[in-house]
């Protein structure tokens, strides 16, 4: 499998750290130094499916493909206003595709999970062209009174077009059940038969625990995919990592003992856009001419679950 097109859609509203400090006991200095985030872009007037369809159309255009060329659409999303139908089925109608669609939810690891699923379909010969969209609006499931979590997130969509090829060398995903460190319990409709405490909660996070688990699991996954490819860390040209906290990225980098130039980041502008961070950063690096044919890329992500994923891809779009 290989990636032949990328696309991004960012919402219009820029929310700086100072804007959050107007209603929350926080400040730009704390957020910038502890996370690396300066601002995030949030959904205000649009719907998430607008962003998802926009990112998808741009990815198709960059791949030189039509929506009707796609054999499958996978959309990674944690939560949006539709529980059903799937976000992917709404996008299918907007972009005028005709293929089957489904959504996945593996939190911030969703891009890696989507790649893994797409690879299985493409390798089996069942499908040839797959559109993978990551569309997220974490601003709508954070508690905007919780300074520990809401400052971290931004909304956005990123998409890639995948097809047969020799790009993907190795992909791994893992899960270690830790439902209490990072979760969002959505309110369901009342039922006359329910006799239990529903305990609805906006996003809850044990920040320090997530931080430690993120660094150890991502470092472990990255070392594992690299060694399973018969490589050493310095063979990788660019690490396109999940953008959650600049200190997490830097700790992973230090464990691998590699230079900063190999770890691009953009969370100063967007914050953590959940599963959309990697396709957005990939698109940005491609447009900036930082990736050339033959380069070895490593993607790695982690998120609620606790879920993780990593892969090695030789760039030959």
Q: Which residues bind ligand COA (CB under 6 A)?
A: 26, 30-31, 34-35, 108, 147-148, 151-152, 205, 207-208, 210-211, 214, 244-245, 272, 303
Determine the Cα–Cα distance for residues 174 and 154; give it in Å rounded to an integer. Answer: 25
Lookup: tokens for 41: 């872009």
Q: In the complex, what is the shortest distance from the CB of residue 248 to ligand COA, in angstroms, rounded to a whole number?
A: 6
Residue 309 backbone dihedrals phi, psi, to 5 degrees: -160, 150
Q: In the complex, what is the shortest distance from the CB of residue 70 to ligand COA, in angstroms, rounded to a whole number?
A: 28
Respond yes or no: is residue 50 known to be catalytic.
no
Closest among 137, 88, 77 to 110, alpha carbons compared: 77
Q: Exactly one of 75, 77, 106, 108 is catalytic; name it.
A: 108
How many Cα neighbours within 13 Å face the side chain of 293? 4
Q: In the complex, what is the shortest distance from the CB of residue 126 to ligand COA, in angstroms, rounded to a whole number?
A: 31
Q: In the complex, what is the shortest distance from the CB of residue 151 to ligand COA, in angstroms, rounded to a whole number?
A: 5
Cβ-closest residue to ligand COA? 207
Q: In the complex, what is the shortest distance from the CB of residue 33 to ligand COA, in angstroms, rounded to a whole number?
A: 9
Choice between 10 and 214, CB closer to ligand COA: 214
Choice between 11 and 138, CB closer to ligand COA: 138
Q: In the complex, what is the shortest distance from the CB of residue 166 to ligand COA, in angstroms, rounded to a whole number?
A: 31
Choice between 183 and 211, CB closer to ligand COA: 211
Q: Exactly one of 75, 134, 242, 311 is catalytic; name it.
A: 242
Determine the Cα–Cα distance for residues 272 and 113; give it in Å rounded to an integer. Answer: 18
Q: Exactly one of 17, 272, 298, 311 is catalytic; name it.
A: 272
Question: What's the distance, CA 134 to chain centroid?
Answer: 6
Choice between 196 and 208, CB closer to ligand COA: 208
Choice between 129 and 300, CB closer to ligand COA: 300
Respond yes or no: is residue 265 known to be catalytic.
no
- Assess whether the previous peptide bond of 267 is cis (omega < 30° from 0): no
Choice between 70 and 244, CB closer to ligand COA: 244
Determine the Cα–Cα distance for residues 310 and 302; give it in Å rounded to an integer. Answer: 9
Determine the Cα–Cα distance for residues 24 and 8; give it in Å rounded to an integer. Answer: 30
Residues known to be catalytic: 108, 242, 272
């Amino acid at each position: 499998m290989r990636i032949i097109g990328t696309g991004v859609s960012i919402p219009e509203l820029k929310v700086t750290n100072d804007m959050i400090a107007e209603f929350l006991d926080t400040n730009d200095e704390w957020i910038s130094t502890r996370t690396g985030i300066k601002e995030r872009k949030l959904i205000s007037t649009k719907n998430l499916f607008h962003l998802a369809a926009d990112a998808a159309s741009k990815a198709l255009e960059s791949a030189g493909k039509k929506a009707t060329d796609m054999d499958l659409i996978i959309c990674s999303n944690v939560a949006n206003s539709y529980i059903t139908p799937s976000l992917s089925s709404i996008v299918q109608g907007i972009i005028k595709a005709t293929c089957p669609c489904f959504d996945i939810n593996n939190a911030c690891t969703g891009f890696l999970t989507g790649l893994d699923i797409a690879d299985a379909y493409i390798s089996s010969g069942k499908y040839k062209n797959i559109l993978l969209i990551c569309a997220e609006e974490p601003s709508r499931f954070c508690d905007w009174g919780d300074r520990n979590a809401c400052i971290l997130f931004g909304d956005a969509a990123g998409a890639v077009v995948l097809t047969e090829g020799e790009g993907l060398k190795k992909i791994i995903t893992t899960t270690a059940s830790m439902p209490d460190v990072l979760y969002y319990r959505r309110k369901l409709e009342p039922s006359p038969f329910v006799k239990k405490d529903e305990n609805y909660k906006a996003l809850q996070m044990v920040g320090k625990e997530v931080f430690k688990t993120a660094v150890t699991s991502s470092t472990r996954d990255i070392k594992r995919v690299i060694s399973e490819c018969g490589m050493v860390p310095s063979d990788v040209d660019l690490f396109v990592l999940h953008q959650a906290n600049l200190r997490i990225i830097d700790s992973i980098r230090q464990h691998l003992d590699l230079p900063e130039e190999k770890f691009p980041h953009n969370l100063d502008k967007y914050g953590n856009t959940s599963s959309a961070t990697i396709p957005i950063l990939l698109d940005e690096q491609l447009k900036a001419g930082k990736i050339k044919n033959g380069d070895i890329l490593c993607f790695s992500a982690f998120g609620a679950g606790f879920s993780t994923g990593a892969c090695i891809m030789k760039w030959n779009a």
